[in-house]
Chains A and B, each alone.
Chain A
């Protein structure tokens, strides 16, 4: 099972919006509404920012939003802030053999 495909990096100026794509297959992203996104600052543990495609955990700003179309999920960060600079990983449930597959990771840079 290959990792989900994400762009290596995206960047934006403070206040702008960036969108990160996460492309899988009809066996993972396309098959389930169990796509989550994780933010990871350097040297830190990942933090859940979106679950079940488009739900935000308590405490995560509404600047973070998620969506899915077909085999591709997306994370949008609006009103970009300096602290949003981090690596972001998508993850999808993939059924009863592979179980979970993560994306390749995207580095968000705030210019």
Chain B
């Protein structure tokens, strides 16, 4: 059974940093593109970033590039999202998801990041 479990969310002060993790199981993690999607409270979904299997290709939504860094550790079956310079508008649930070609076929349960002083 494919499982994706996010961790690392929490309350962070504006300007702070956070690293989210996503641990995968039930499939060959080394072979899949992976992605991060976020959802602000009561709002819609927003694609954030993705990464190819060997981490040689990473893409970001233009508005977030520079503060967000996606990475992975295939030996640990783990995906990461480093967020620096956190802003109020970064408050959201962050989901990791597996790519199936140009779609997202499995999602984690999400990690809540709250930016507040």
Residues of A within 8 A of B (CB): 1, 3, 32, 34, 36, 38, 44-48, 51-52, 57, 89, 91, 93, 96-105
Name the residue on A nearest B102 (C-beta).
A34
With an 8 Å Cβ cutoff, the count of chain B residues facing the other chain is 23
Residues of B within 8 A of A (CB): 35, 37, 44-47, 50, 59, 61-62, 95, 97, 100-110
Whether the pair B59, A99 counts as a contact (CB closer than 8 A) is yes
Question: Given that A38-B45, A99-B50 are known contacts, is A93 also in contact with B108, CB under 8 Å in the complex?
Answer: no
Question: Given that A45-B95, A45-B108, A97-B62 are known contacts, is A102 also in contact with B103, CB under 8 Å in the complex?
Answer: no
Whether the pair B50, A36 counts as a contact (CB closer than 8 A) is no
Whether the pair A32, B46 counts as a contact (CB closer than 8 A) is no
Partner of B44, one of A47, A52, A98, A103: A103
Complex CA gap A45/B103 in Å reads 15
Question: Given that A45-B107, A99-B50, A99-B59 are known contacts, is A104 also in contact with B44, CB under 8 Å in the complex?
Answer: yes
By a CB distance below 8 angstroms, the chain B residues around A36 are 102-104
Q: Which 3 A-B pairs have the closest CB atoms?
A: A34-B102, A100-B47, A51-B103
